[in-house]
Structure 1
Amino acid sequence: MDYRKTILLVDDDVDLLENTAFMIKGMGHDVFTARDGEDGISKYKDVKPNLTFMDIRMPKMDGYDAFFKIKQIDPAAKVILITAYNQDEKKYLKAKSMSLLDSIPKPYSFETLEGIINKYA
């Protein structure tokens, strides 16, 4: 059985993106990154990840809108939203109704990421 998973990280914070990618690679998984929602959608189509972590507040397209588009492409997509801010309740409830797996606050720990990957991917 192959425990190696493909993980997509979408965040406009380059330092956080690189640090998170490093942590997840250290767990033995393949990691792809994108710096905004539009790029995240494009990468999702290319790599078809087992799990996607996506920041909510980003330029060009926020994480909610990118999530909605990804779910149109792949209704079975597994997405975790990440935020350091209060959530837009209306968009959050819509996302939950479209099978959003979870949302986690920034900053997050290695243990939190590992637990989510083990649970959902």
Structure 2
Amino acid sequence: MKVLIVDDSGYYRERGADIQRKLGNEVFFAKDGYEAIDQYRKVQPDIVTMDICMPNLDGLDASKEIVKDDPKAIIMICSSAGHIYKKQAYKNGALYILKKEYDEYDFKSALYELDLIKKEEL
């Protein structure tokens, strides 16, 4: 699986990459919303983990643009304040809110839940 990790913090990009690599996923990075849109178009990842608060273009607006290009995009918003932005995140195309300090179990649980949603919609 290809995972695009979008975060302006190098710490969180590397932390997320460590988790994804442990799960056997191929990892790509972006540091802001504009890079996220560009990388999404180039890489066509299976999943995007997206921070909200970033310079230049935030994660909410970047999610909206990505979903405009690809309505089937799977975007997980990662934020310690995700509950504050939850409604807007879902409105802009996010399918899941992950806590900022997510671990392997949290990510696998999110994938499981997203797969159930897809199966029910078929």
Whole-angstrom CA distance in 1 between matches of 2:82 and 2:109: 23
TM-score, with length taken from structure 1: 0.83
In terms of mean alpha carbon deviation, does 75-84 or 111-120 score higher? 111-120
Tell me, yes or no, if the aligned pair for 2:8 and 2:32 is still in contact at 8 Å: yes
In terms of mean alpha carbon deviation, does 103-112 or 20-29 score higher? 103-112
Pairing of 1:1-121 with structure 2 (within 5 A): 5-85=1-81, 87=83, 89=85, 92-97=86-91, 99-120=93-114
Whole-angstrom CA distance in 1 between matches of 2:92 and 2:61: 12
Higher helix share goes to which structure?
A: 2
Structure 2: tracts of 5 or more residues without a match: 116-122
Q: Write out per-residue CA displacement over residues 13-61 of structure 1, whole angstroms, 9 at most, x where no aligned residue.
A: 1011012112101111111111111101100000111111100111111
Whole-angstrom CA distance in 1 between matches of 2:112 and 2:83: 25
Count of residues paired in the alignment: 115
TM-score, with length taken from structure 2: 0.83
In terms of mean alpha carbon deviation, does 102-111 or 61-70 score higher? 102-111
Q: Write out per-residue CA displacement over residues 48-101 of structure 1, whole angstroms, 9 at most, x where no aligned residue.
A: 111111001111111000000001111111101111225555xx4354245421
Question: Secondary structure, in 3 states, of the residue corresponding to 2:24?
Answer: coil
Q: Percent identity?
A: 29
Tell me, yes or no, if the aligned pair for 1:51 and 1:117 is still in contact at 8 Å: no
Deviation at 1:120, TM superposition (A): 3.6
Q: What RMSD over aligned residues (CA atoms) do the two structures have, in Å? A: 1.9
Structure 1: tracts of 5 or more residues without a match: none
